[in-house]
Structure formats: C-alpha cells, structure tokens
Amino acid sequence: MPEDILTKVRVRFAPSPTGYPHLGNIRTALFNWLFARHYGGSFILRIEDTDVARRVEGAVETILESLRWLRLDWDEGPYFQSQRLEIYREIADQLLKQEYAYLCYCSPQRLESMRREQMKQKQPPKYDRYCRELTQKQKIELEATGIIPVVRFKTPLEGQTTFYDLIRGEVTFDNSVLDDFVLLKSDGYPTYHLANITDDHLMAISHILRADEWLSSTPRHVLLYQALGWNPPQFAHLPMILGPDRAKLSKRHGATALLDYRERGYLPEAMINFLSLLGWSLDDRTELLSREEIIKHFSLERISKTAAIFNKEKLDWMSGVYLRRLATEEFTKQALPFLDRDLPASVKRPLDLDYVGQIMPLIQERARTFADVSELNQFFFIDELEYNANLLLNAGLGAEVAIKALQTVLPRLALIKTWGAMVLETLVRPMAEELGLETGKFFGLLRVAITGRTAAPPLFQTMAVLGKRRCSRRLRAALDKLFSIVGQ
C-alpha cells in the first residue's frame, strides 16, 4: 500500500439493526478494525437503520455489546442514518435536477406483476424502466392520483462499469445487466445504495472492506460516485465464510449470533484469533496469534480470494488453548458465573470459593469453554451419583472381582488419618498387585465409583478434594450397586 495514504486510513463498520450480529458481520468489523489499527487510522461505527420495516428491537444494543465484548473500540460514532434523512433527500434532489435520476410512480402491484411475468419468461427480475421517459403530462396525471413516487437512478443503458478491488483486482460489469435501482423510497427513507455512498463520502471513508456478497452492488455505487462527481473509496471484498460442507454458513454448522459464544463460555481473545483466520493468514502454519501480533501483521495482501471454512472443532481447540493459558486464579474467577448458572439447583449457593479453588486446577486442562466446566466437575458438587452398571463393569473385572476390590479398599481408607493425594496413592496403588489386578483396570473401577465417570481428573487428586466422608459414601454406594447386579 502506498506510503502517502497510510495516515489517511478511515474505515467503517456499518451494520443494519435488522438482526443480531453473527460471525460474518463481526468478521467484517474485525478486519476493518485490524486494518485501521495496523495503519494508525480511524475505525468508524455507523448504524444503517433506514430499513424501518425490518428493524429488530434490541439489535443496536446487541451490536454495540458484541463489539465491546471483543474490545473492538471505535474512534467515531455510532452514527445513525435515521438522523440524517435530510442529507439523503438533498442528494436525491441533486441527482434529479442533473437528470441522473427520475421519479417512478409504479405501484407495488405493478412491480410484483412485472416480476412474475419476468420469472415466467425466465428473465432476471429487474425494473422495466416504465417511468424513465415519462412526459411532463404523464407525470402530472400520475401525481394527481396521489401516488407518492420513489426516486430511481438512471443507469446507463450501454457500456461497462469497471472498478479495482484490492483483493480481486479489476472487476467489470456490463451496464446492461444493472437495473434502475431505487435511491429514495416513498416513505422518504433512502435505500442502502444512496445512504451508503453518501455517508462514505461525507465521512471521508478511504477504504471499504465488506463482505463478498456486496460485490454486485459496487458497480451501482461507482456509477453514483461518478454522477455526483465524487472520488470513490478503495474497495476490498472479503471472502465468504462457508460451512465444512461448503454450503452457506448457518446455525446447523454451529454458527449463531456472536454473543451466543460469550454465553457458551468462549474467551474473546480466542474468538479474535479464530475470526482473524477466517480469510486471512500470517503464513501457512501459524494458528495461535495474540491481538497485538495480528494487528502488527495484518494486511489485505494476505486475505484469500477463496471462501473461508468455518470449523467449530478448530474453534473449540483454540478456545481450550486460551483457557489453559490463564492463571488458575483468573480461570477460577471467570468460571464462577458459569458454575453458578449451570450447576444443578440442588447445589447449595453461594458456592464455597475455597472448595471451587481446589477443583479448578484439576479441570482447567480439560475445559474447552467455560460452559464445559459445570459438566466436567458436577460430580464434585452433587451428593448422590447415579451409577451406570455397565460403567462399573467397563474395566472388564466382572461383578464379583469388582466387589472384592471395593471391599478391600473401603476399610483401608477408613484407617487414613491425614487425607491427601500422596497418602492415598501410597496406600491404594499396591492394592492392585495384592488383588492380582491390572493397575489401569483397578483405578478405572475406583474412578467410576468415585465420580460416576470413566474420564475424570487424576484419581487421587480428585479423591483428596472430595474428602474422606464423601469418597467412602460413594464407594459403599457403588458396592451396593454391584451387589444388586450379582443378585439379579
């Protein structure tokens, strides 16, 4: 990128509050923010809220909260297009006076009938320019009916419109495939096309980084810039995000509104790292990058032309890495709200912080998100376990052998005066040889008896935290379960 524009970088994130921001929206915001921060430019937030009919209650607040959660701070805004309607009206009037636009009186019924006929003829649906060359007399007659017209752009009927995309290179559209698009609706609100280019010009936006789906709108915008005598910003259309099956990203791929990931316990830094690699890369191998490293190396040259693939397994792996990097005290602090939310209602609140502090070091290595924590350590908090008979016999010991093993362990544990992991291991480990059992199978039986699971944190550390009384009670309950199996 030429050095003379590095100090002039001004980019914007311009979401519409017609829904809650999802991964694609936020990836666009992130790339704009990274671009601005890399070049020391400005990141502007603009809410494009002119589609009144589709506006969703609470969407604006969710957009702002999503950016705050990821710490994508904005330098200006938020600006709201609904507060700038007079500006768009003036621009539309200017285009009408210069005959780059015209009034269209077609009713919604006529437009719908026209579209149906075009579809029947297997033609691409677009406006047939019925009102483009109306006489003054026809206009007067139509206005007398009380119809409030829209303003349409007078797209050139011939030639081509070419622009340069910083990712895709030169792009050309035949003007014949473009329609006479609406600039100003009958309710006085602008369409995306008019409001977008007006604000980008007046806010001195230098670069537009937006989703690939807007590529087909760009020739319309270029024509508008030309008609108004404005220099357009530089364009960069970001690759789509697809699911693993290369279909359009959807909820079935695990992609939902961004703040859902916060509710599921993902760290914002993990999300930043993951989203930055959806279409951009430092090289062909580096996957873990800090926010500062991404800012330092971010450039449009490293953005791919091909679609990015959303991989939830990779996100979960990356999230687990970031959780393990936290100091145990910080991990515990951030895990507490999820424990309070997700542990069964039967668990006494408030939670014992000292007890939680003993558990967390055992859990941290295995958690992928904070939402995993409750499931991973629920057995630490509940009083009674529901034993699965198949799990108790999963080690292949047989019910009678398992009964003998537990009957041997229980009285030995009762003799322990100082309950701790090292003492437990010193006492219990030799019992495997004494009983003629493989250590792995013996420990597997004890693990299920103590936790109700085949996979759990290290056995003796877990027993140390649970305490002598609870461990003994559970071993007796497991023994009763095995006796019931034998008696069947």
C-beta of residue 105 within 8 angstroms of C-beta of residue 131: yes
Q: Which of 248, 251, 296, 312 is catalytic?
A: 251
Question: Can you tell me the distance from the alpha carbon of 35 to that of 25, in angstroms, rounded to the nearest whole number?
Answer: 16
Task: Say whether 154 is catalytic.
Answer: no
Asked if 63 and 264 count as a contact pair (C-beta separation under 8 A), the reply is no
- The residues, any chain, with a CB within 8 Å of residue 139's CB and separated by 6 or more, are 103, 105
Q: From CA 190, how far away is CA 84, in angstroms rounded?
A: 10
β-pairing, 308-309 vs 241-242, is parallel
Token pair 């309607």: residue: 85
Per-residue tokens: 120: 């029947």
Closest Cα to residue 168, out of 207, 205, 213, 215? 215
Q: Please enumerate in sequence order all residues whose Cβ is within 8 A of that of 215, keeping only pairs 6 or more positions apart, or say none.
A: 165, 168, 171, 237
**What residues are annotated to the active site?**
251
